[in-house]
Amino acid sequence: MRAVFISSDNIVSPLGLTSAENFKNLRAAVTGIRKHDRSDMSEQPFYAALFDERSGFSDTKNKNGFTRFEQLLQASIENALNSGQVKPTDPRTIFILSSTKGNISLLETGADSKEIAEAVSLQHSAKKIADHFQFINKPVVISNACISGLMAMIIGMRFIQSGKYDHAVIAGADVISKFILSGFQSFQAVSNEPCKPFDASRTGINLGEAAGTIILSADKNNSAGVKICGGSVSNDANHISGPSRTGAELFQAINKAMQDAGLTAADIDFISAHGTATVYNDEMESKAINLAGMQDVPVNSLKGYYGHTLGAAGLIEAIACIHSLRENVVLPTVGFGELGVPMPLNVCSSLQEKPLKNCLKTASGFGGCNAAVVLSKDEK
């Protein structure tokens, strides 16, 4: 089986416009979540991690024919490409886009028309981005709720392992609009304070907007020090919006990803969980992690920094894992104080510095979807 290396990466978020800037703020426990009083998005004030005017990504107007969603993707992909050796014009390179909502906000303000119908198509956005960077191959779109980013990584890994491509540029993004926020509010899933993953007093999620890019390569010369060693997807087949009550299905994804990587529970140094701070998600994850025999492994959630960034979440949180492995630090879970899940977990509440080699990243989402990815240091 071909090894798959991380060549370069980028995060564009309210915490910064590069991965390095983001990780610096993560290490310092800086959060992008703020209280917002935005009548254009909600009748009530809400907590979220949104871009401000200083970022250059708060303006909803199109620029050079690209929407705000597409501008985020452009910025993130460009930075990642400039940081690595992979070229979009290489016929052995594939571009994969992950998102849950894309340009859906256009339906709020635009008249019903053929042009709007085309613009909200994720494939339309993917082609615009692919043409902009001169990718040769037809882009692939992955939109599977909140596992979209991790699933895109797994698809990219498998493309390379199969020999179909040598490189994969994987980018994901989502922006928050009234349509998206109201949807989560209708589920009574949005917290009226900064979220508290795995905490006894957690009351729900905060949303966030961001873009992330990870470039994978089969060429060891392109390695930036970390490789993706395994990944798997599963489904609860339980409920359209409620996760499994046993965690068995997320465990299936974890177990298969571990088998792909050739590792055991004892080899995992930390877990980056989905950790949405909703009652049922955190309970389910605690059960899955215990089924995997990893209840003593340090676990964190990054939702207290970024909020839930939907189609970008798996990517930007995996990038944080990559930099954690490189710098030998486990990030704390902002908002966590007292364990509030039914099964024991070793939730990281302060920055830990220690030698790290392997980590597990998980994600779950509406429709019962689950994903798990194993990342490991590239021992040169």
Structure tokens at 379: 């021992």
**Interatomic CA distance for residues 206 and 224, integer angstroms:** 32
Q: What is the CA radius of gyration of the chain?
A: 19
- pLDDT means over runs of 10, the chain (380 residues): 96 98 98 96 96 86 90 98 97 98 86 86 98 98 98 98 98 96 94 98 98 98 97 94 94 98 98 97 98 98 98 98 98 98 97 98 96 92
Task: Please check whether residues 349 and 371 belong to one and the same domain.
Answer: yes
pLDDT at 18: 98
* End position of a domain, from candidates 222, 250, 284: 222
CATH number at residue 44: 3.40.47.10
Same domain, 256 and 373: yes
Domain match, 248 and 173 both: no
Q: Which spans in 99-173 are helix H?
A: 106-109, 114-119, 122-133, 148-162
Same domain? For 52 and 156 the reply is yes
Same-domain check for residues 191 and 205 = yes
Q: CA 356, CA 318: separation in Å to the nearest integer?
A: 15
Same domain, 266 and 298: yes
Q: What is the pLDDT of residue 88?
A: 97
Backbone angles phi, psi at 303, to 5 degrees: -65, -25
My answer on whether 214 and 231 are in the same domain is no
Domain match, 104 and 182 both: yes
Q: What is the pLDDT of residue 379?
A: 78
- Looking at the fold, whether 156 and 47 belong to one and the same domain comes out as yes
Same domain, 90 and 217: yes
Last residue of a domain, one of 197, 222, 247: 222
Burial class (CB in 10 A: 0-12, 13-18, 19+), 338: exposed
Residues 187 and 309 in one domain: no
Which burial class, exposed, middle or buried, applies to 240 when counting CB atoms under 10 A from its CB (0-12, 13-18, 19+)? exposed
pLDDT of residue 171: 98
What is the structure's pLDDT at 380? 62
Residues 171 and 188 in one domain: yes
Claim: this prediction has a pTM higher than 0.85: yes
Q: How many domains does the chain have?
A: 2
pLDDT attached to residue 107: 87
Query: Domain end: 171, 195, 222, which one?
Result: 222
| Structural domain span for residue 285 | 226-377
pLDDT of residue 112: 77
